[in-house]
Amino acid sequence: MRKEAYEALEWASSFLKQYGREENAARLIMQHVKKCSYSELVMHMYEDLTYVEWMEFQALVKEHASGRPVQYCIGYEEFYGRKFTVNESVLIPRTETEELVYYALQKIERMFGQEPVTLVDIGTGSGAIAVTMKLEAPQLQVTATDLSERALEVAIYNANKLQADINFGLGDLTEPINHKKWDILLANPPYIAFDELPLMSDLVLEHEPHNALFAAEDGLQLYRRLAQEAQQCMNEKALIGVEIGYKQGQAVAQLFQESFPGATITIQKDLNGKERMVFCEIV
C-alpha cells in the first residue's frame, strides 16, 4: 500500500497519543527511517515511503508505544549536534547536560585559555560529555570513567565513531583517577532520591539503568563522596562542574564549599530557570 510520509506521521502521532507517548517521537523515527534531517523531511513530506520504510516505521512506532524509549528504539540520541549511540546500558543524554558542557567550555576558556589541561568525566555513560568536550576543545587531555563495564563499552564505541582521542578507566568515582592530579573534573552522577521513584515515567523506570539514576541520602550521596574524594585529586588551580537535581543546588554547593573553603562556588540555572549545575572554581 502506498503511503506518503505525511500520512504515516499522521497515523503514528494518533497511535502514540492513544498510548500516552510523545507524538514528537513519530518525527524522530521517520527521520531515522528516511536517514534524513528535519529540514530534509519537511522538503520530502509528501513523497511515498518505500514498502521497507513503511514496515520499519510501523514496527518502531509500535515498539515505542509499548514503552521503550524512542532513543533506544532507533539506537541513538543527538547531543551537541552529534549522534551518540545508546542502549539500555547507559542513560539517554539530556538537554540539561548539554548546558553543563556549554558552561564548562566557557569557564575553561576563561581559566585556562588554550593550555593543554587535563579533564576527567566521572560516570561517563554514553561518553557524551567526554567526547563533546574533546571535540569542542581539542587541547584538552580527556579521560572518561564509569563503574559499569557495559557503559564503558558504549562510551568507547562513541569515541571511536566520532574520532575523539580519549582515555578510559573502569571503577567507582575517583578510584580509577586518584593516582594523579587533575585540572578539570566534570560529572553527571545519579542524583534522584529514592522517594521520587513514584513520580518517574515508566519509560525511564523500565528501561534506563537505575544505578545511573538513583542515589541514597536524598540523592546527595555521590556528591558528598565526590566533594570529599576530589580534595586529593585536583590541582591547586582547578575546575569542578556537576549536574544536579533542581532542588539540590544549595546542598551540593555547601558540600563543595566545605571541601574547598577558598573556592568560588556558583549555582547555574538551566534554560528553564531551574538550578541545574554547580561549579567549583579553585584558584
Q: pLDDT by residue (tens digit) across 72-118?
A: 999 999 999 999 999 989 988 999 999 999 999 999 999 999 999 99
Question: Is 124:144 a contact under the CB 8 Å cutoff?
Answer: yes
Contact indicator for 252, 211 with CB cutoff of 8 Å:
no
124 annotated among ligand-binding-site residues: yes
Q: Where are the domains of the chain?
A: 5-74, 88-282
Same fold, 5-74 and 88-282: no
Q: Is residue 206's pLDDT more than 70?
A: no
Give residue 245's pLDDT.
84
Q: Is 209 annotated as belonging to a binding site?
A: no
Res. 203: pLDDT tops 80 = no
The reply to whether 125 sits in an annotated binding site is yes
- When the pLDDT of each residue in the chain is averaged and rounded to a whole number, the result is 90
Pick the CATH number of 88-282 from 1.10.10.10, 2.40.50.140, 3.40.50.150, 1.10.1040.10: 3.40.50.150
- Does residue 126 have a known ligand-binding role? yes
Question: In degrees, to the nearest 5, what angle opens at C-alpha 40 toward C-alphas 37 and 44?
Answer: 135
pLDDT of residue 214: 42
What is the Cα–Cα distance from 26 to 15, expressed in whole angstroms? 9
Q: Which residue stretches of 137-220 are H helix?
A: 149-161, 202-207
Q: Average of pLDDT values for 3-16?
A: 95
Q: Where residue 194 falls among pLDDT bands split at 50, 70, 90? A: very low
Distances (CA, A) of 88 to 72, 83, 259: 7, 16, 35
- In this prediction the pTM is 0.89
For residues 57 and 73, what is the distance between their CA atoms, to the nearest angstrom?
Answer: 11
C-alpha cell recorded at residue 88: 539500555
17-23: average pLDDT: 90
Q: What is the pLDDT of residue 200?
A: 47
**pLDDT, position 99:** 96
CATH architecture for the domain at 5-74: Orthogonal Bundle (1.10)
- 93 belongs to an annotated ligand binding site: no
